[in-house]
């Protein structure tokens, strides 16, 4: 940020009327809300781009790092420490975020920038990763994923998921009418499928002949 400010001051590059506010918002992890208030449509930024336009996503990440530990403690307390209940609550929050994005995209198009930039409309893509973490780390889920049938499905899911992502990334634009009404959700789901499939527990190695439970070998 200091480097950008220096270039703006010395060369005038990127020194638009909103430059100072954009830089300050980036420093306090609020760039996404700054762009909601001032820029609107994300695609319009390419006509007169801010030098810190990319900081919107970093702002959401930092907001997540600061807020999620408190949310996680609250969810665990409300679920009385049951991981299954916590995972279900976080999955509900994920679904609510995608629903909020769909509602913010009036008529399927994000005319205000709210669906693209807002914390509550993009948190679902981060929270989905938390739900995946529950799937690949909790013991019951790992037992289920370790079954031979699940591993066979996983072996197919990886190439299918990657192919689906390639098609999605190639055929989707920022102005796509369904970007926030299914496309981002599908992108998130395919990514989750690939991650879960790649982190499935390996097949247990059978004990050596003659080995006993207490044998350190």
Whether 8 shows a pLDDT value over 50: the answer reads yes
pLDDT tier at 21, thresholds 50, 70, 90: confident
Whether 86 shows a pLDDT value over 50: the answer reads yes
Whether 94 shows a pLDDT value over 80: the answer reads yes
C-alpha–C-alpha distance, residues 200 and 155, integer Å? 10
| Residues 74-91, mean pLDDT to the nearest whole number | 88
Q: Are 115 and 104 in contact (CB under 8 A)?
A: yes
Please state the pTM of the whole predicted model: 0.80
Dihedral of alpha carbons 19, 50, 57, 119, sign: positive
Higher pLDDT, 121 or 108: 121
| Residues 140-144, mean pLDDT to the nearest whole number | 73
Give 180's DSSP letter: I
pLDDT tier at 205, thresholds 50, 70, 90: low
Q: Which of 172, 58, 38, 19 is nearest to 112 (CA)?
A: 38
Mean pLDDT of the chain: 83
| Residues 175-180, mean pLDDT to the nearest whole number | 83
Give 201's DSSP letter: P
């Amino acid at each position: 940020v200091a480097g950008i400010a220096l270039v703006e001051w010395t060369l005038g590059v990127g020194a638009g009327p909103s430059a100072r506010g954009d830089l300050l918002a980036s420093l306090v992890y609020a760039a996404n809300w700054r762009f909601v208030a001032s820029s609107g449509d994300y695609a319009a930024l390419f006509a007169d781009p801010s030098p810190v336009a990319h900081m919107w996503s970093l702002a959401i990440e930092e907001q997540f790092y600061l807020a999620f530990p408190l949310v996680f403690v609250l969810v665990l307390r409300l679920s009385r420490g049951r991981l299954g209940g916590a995972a279900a609550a976080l999955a509900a929050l994920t679904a609510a975020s995608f629903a909020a994005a769909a509602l913010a995209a009036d008529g399927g198009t994000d005319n205000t920038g709210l669906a693209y930039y807002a914390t509550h409309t993009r948190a679902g893509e981060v929270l989905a990763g938390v739900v995946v973490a529950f799937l690949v780390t909790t013991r019951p889920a790992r037992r289920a994923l370790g079954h031979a049938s699940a591993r066979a499905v996983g072996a197919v899911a990886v190439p299918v998921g990657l192919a689906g992502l390639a098609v999605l990334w190639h055929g989707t634009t920022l102005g796509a009418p369904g970007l926030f009404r299914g496309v981002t959700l599908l992108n998130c789901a395919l990514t989750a499928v690939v991650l879960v499939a790649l982190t499935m527990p390996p097949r247990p190695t059978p004990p050596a002949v003659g080995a006993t439970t207490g044998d350190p070998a």
